[in-house]
């Protein structure tokens, strides 16, 4: 059978266009810091899942993959809803007017964490949001432009999963009206995880959490943690449960992240975690940015704190806040560069002069540092890569 020449030409052009478009799907850049060397799906051919079911299958299997999100994948309603007894915590002083109630996960409403005066109430939530998709090893999950959205379900990297890249996607709407409504990205008992140019918004609990198990080497870079919400645990339009880093001897690099409109735990550090927070931008935090608990070891350098009430709430661990040019020279021996000064605008003080723990950085992959700049706000997050 013969085909018209114009039909063949059109078919060839269409195939070439499709192949050309497919060839553009790839991870951009390489991770700095502790997760240096993460390759994700490696040379696996990039592919677009046809449905939320196929996306979940690809994310959880044992095959090395490059998974492309070129649209919104909406998990809301895919697992039904749950109605049960939860609580109105003492922190919700504005019920029905911007407060956040709670699901009774891990008996949180019963063990005193909800505060004196907490009352039992009925809560109804989307079931999919409270548990993340368990990712398998050797995955690259990347978005196209600003189109790649996970709505109603987060991601969990645990139980030995490793070598994972999550880049240029937006995770949103995990039961934001409820504490314990869902975590956007959880890492617990994993290794080599790079989260880059991701936006997180409208989350019930943590935007990023490193669980009790060793998460080993993690880099969070160029992400936007957007705490703007209509359901606030602090009743001020800002999210409290932002970034929780209390794993076992975790190595976590935070570089180039834009963390805004939060009111606490941005991050909470502990559990013998070693954290290098460099060139991040905290903006409009009515509570605290860092809360460094027992075992936490933090170097904070080259960051901007703008309109942050309390940059460092407490330091029960070890914290070096790059206090002066002369003091910052000590970093050269362990981080390979003199630490950069932090910058403050309408903010409290950072503090932190501990240096004994800097030996823990020796021999590890360390992110570079630049002068503090608020321009990060225009480069962090989805669609900016």
CA dist 239 and 107 (Å) reads 22
CA dist 350 and 320 (Å) reads 9
CA dist 96 and 11 (Å) reads 58
Q: Which residues contact 89 (CB under 8 A, 6 or more apart)?
A: 100, 101, 102, 109, 113, 114, 115, 118, 179, 233
Phi, psi of 277 (to 5 degrees): -105, 110
pTM of the model as a whole: 0.94
CA dist 238 and 222 (Å) reads 21
Residue pLDDT, tens place only, 351-362: 999 999 999 999
Query: How many CB atoms sit inside 10 A of residue 359's CB?
Result: 10
CA angle 33, 242, 360 (to 5 degrees): 30
Domain 131-378 has CATH 3.40.50.720: no
Residue pLDDT, tens place only, 45-67: 999 999 999 999 999 999 999 99
Structure-block tokens of residue 279: 């060139």
Residue pLDDT, tens place only, 66-120: 999 999 999 999 999 999 999 999 999 999 999 999 999 999 999 999 999 999 9
Burial of 111 (0-12, 13-18, 19+ CB in 10 A): exposed
CA dist 383 and 148 (Å) reads 9
Match 């002369």 to its residue by tokens: 326
Residue pLDDT, tens place only, 292-309: 999 999 999 999 999 999
How many whole angstroms from its chain centre is CA 133? 15
Please tell me whether residue 138 adopts helix, strand or coil conformation.
coil
Segments of the chain scoring below 50 in pLDDT: 1-23
Structural domain boundaries in the chain: 131-378
> Residue ranges of the alpha helices (H) in the chain?
5-23, 52-60, 325-328, 332-335
Give me the residues paired with residue 178 across strands.
101
Q: Contact 177/147 with Cβ under 8 angstroms?
A: no
Predicted local distance difference test score (pLDDT) of residue 213: 86
Structure-block tokens of residue 65: 């993959």
Q: Does the active-site annotation cover 217?
A: no
Q: What is the DSSP letter of 338?
A: P
CA dist 279 and 303 (Å) reads 4
Query: How many CB atoms sit inside 10 A of residue 71's CB?
Result: 13
Strand order in the sheet with 251-255: 46-47, 65-69, 139-143, 162-167, 191-196, 217-221, 251-255, 274-278, 297-301, 318-320
CA dist 104 and 101 (Å) reads 10
Q: Contact 281/303 with Cβ under 8 angstroms?
A: yes
């Amino acid at each position: 059978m013969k085909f018209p020449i114009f039909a063949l030409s059109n078919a060839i052009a269409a195939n070439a266009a499709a192949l050309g478009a497919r060839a553009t799907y790839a991870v951009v850049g390489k991770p700095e810091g502790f997760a240096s060397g993460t390759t994700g799906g490696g040379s696996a051919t990039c592919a677009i899942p046809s449905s939320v079911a196929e996306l979940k299958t690809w994310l959880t299997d044992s095959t090395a993959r490059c998974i492309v999100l070129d649209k919104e994948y909406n998990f809301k309603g895919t697992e039904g809803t749950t109605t049960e007894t939860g609580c109105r915590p003492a922190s919700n002083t504005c019920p029905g007017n911007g407060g956040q109630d709670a699901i009774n996960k891990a008996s949180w409403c019963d063990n005193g964490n909800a505060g004196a005066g907490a009352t039992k109430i009925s809560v109804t939530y989307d079931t999919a949001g409270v548990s993340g998709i368990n990712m398998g090893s050797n995955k690259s999950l990347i978005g196209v432009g600003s189109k790649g959205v996970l709505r109603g379900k987060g991601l969990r990297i645990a139980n030995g999963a490793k070598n994972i890249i999550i880049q240029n996607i937006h995770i949103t709407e995990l039961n934001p009206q409820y504490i314990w409504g869902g975590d956007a990205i959880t890492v617990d008992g994993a290794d080599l995880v790079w989260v880059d140019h991701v936006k997180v918004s409208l989350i019930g609990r943590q935007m990023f959490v490193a669980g009790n198990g060793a998460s080993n080497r993690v880099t969070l870079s160029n992400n936007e943690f957007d705490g703007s919400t209509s359901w606030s645990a602090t009743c001020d339009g800002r999210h409290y449960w932002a970034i929780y880093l209390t794993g076992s001897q975790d190595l976590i690099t935070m570089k180039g992240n834009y963390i805004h409109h939060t009111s606490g735990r941005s991050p909470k550090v502990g559990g013998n975690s070693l954290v290098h927070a460099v060139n991040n931008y905290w903006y409009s935090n009515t509570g605290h940015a860092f809360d460094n608990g027992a075992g936490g070891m933090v170097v904070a350098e080259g960051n901007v704190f703008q309109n942050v009430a309390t940059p460092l709430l407490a330091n029960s661990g070890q914290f070096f806040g790059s206090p002066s040019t002369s003091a910052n020279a000590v970093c050269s021996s362990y981080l390979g560069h003199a630490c950069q000064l932090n910058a403050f605008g309408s903010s409290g003080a950072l503090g932190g002069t501990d240096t004994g723990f800097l030996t823990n950085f020796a021999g590890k992959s360390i992110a570079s540092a630049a002068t503090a700049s608020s321009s990060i706000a225009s480069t962090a997050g989805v669609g900016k890569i």
